[in-house]
Structure 1
């Protein structure tokens, strides 16, 4: 019998989750829903942080003063949350209850149902009745659909163009055609955030041994944890660069491991791999694909791979298409988030990157390469399929 493995959380994951509350002033309920954990689990991590049992995550330790500041911020959390809901639901208040219910249904992973219904002036019982009837039974008018599109666009911070927007509308129960969604978005200047090029971080000018390109651009896999691909990118902050190393599972496109530091070292890459293995516990034989950067070619990194029973594959020199899924992830990260923020400190960047990866990308962002599912949906769907087959 197949079942989804129990979630495992590294110390760094716990630290950054706590920081979402302590440093950002987000409500615990909001953070718990965003990360797919229980409020009690987050509460336990906060208690551990207060007792000094979580340590530091490469940034500043959580101090008693920060804990007290968090308590004061929590007193204003309800007002801040309602203002946020109002901002993201732009135009929805002027539409009918069906449009409001549809937007609420898509925002429930981020905000409490009671708060959403209160701000949009509908009842929770009415929403429950709407859900029990499988959502709307008729098409929306252009004005209603446009209001919903604008709200979703604000909710995902401008990440979606018309194809993903269409899939999001369908997932929320609203029938719409590709041409209609594209027409409304084009007519009203609603588009995905503009893409820009960014600096490459690969240093392949070394004499370390390299591996063959075993992956050979076969980016489709039959199950999770068959192939992982890895890379490192940089994030500009007011204090200098913050480097981000990530590990992606090709089956689900989920980021299963990550690490951040002010220096781009082999230890940074190794920390990301350690997190991925701790969380997923893959069987020996997994194919690990990287570029020819010195971090991945180093003796320490290769020894770690061998210890985990992983096979090594590397892109050809200077060929970014050999690691296209990772390039796609970094493009999404930079264009949907980083290029539109100014991080005054590395800690500020850490918080935002953690929220993007764990709160948005892994759990909510739809991917065309996996049938417009989210990574967590793709991952869970495999286990459901195997359970039925068994």
Structure 2
């Protein structure tokens, strides 16, 4: 039986600091240290949750409460049988959880409930838990970067036409590989499929509410979308909420995965500043998920979704993606997530407050957004 790795608090702290510095991607750190990316993410989340306690006077009391709670857990495991414990653990933690949420529930250092048992209870594929992330090859990065350029310029291109252009550039690749790369990047051609990410057919598709609508003031309609941001040795994903009247970027987030959390964070941040009457998106799985739709509806905001195969339904957001990529991303080779975050932060500030827009009579988005 393989001995379970044990890591000291000092080691975990050092890893969390490396993650927060964003000098390397999560996959790079996971590969470097031989630790699963999900475990690294758990350490980071735990550190962020406990950080406020460092600045309070209640540390001792909190430590005692934690110690008492841990003692109760130990007593509980001693009193009940294995089957009862597993069923109770499953009932408490599994209900209505997404795969990411179930992954986050894994306790790699639990000596009483092995990872194999936890994976079975959480309906997770055990083989995928021990997969060690491999950094993408230079060939894969080149191909995905070129796909991104083609898709940004021609969002109506599907996998067939992208394959033809790649081959014209001397990049020999079959269509299935192109489709796989596009799925991993979170994009599909506007025709014949949906605009950004693969739809979940089990989730409700909301109607498009903007046809013939005159948008006459800020916070009438916002758009939300996700795009691929390339790095020197990988990539990140950018989600943005845009006020369609003023072109103002209300909120945005960057992440290294396509998990839904960063989308929800961007929406929450946007709603903390203002609430639109309508929030428009494509029919991607992020925007049809209950986590997203329930969040939007709870804010009393109407949900609108692009029609299938309609390139013009999201034209304002598509124009912003072209602007940020041609004016910032393609001009810089980001060497790390931190560098990408710094560059995009600077560009969005420029876009909102300095860049004059012809469609706004050569005013800035911020001046139009805040003056109306």
TM-score, reference length from structure 1 = 0.46
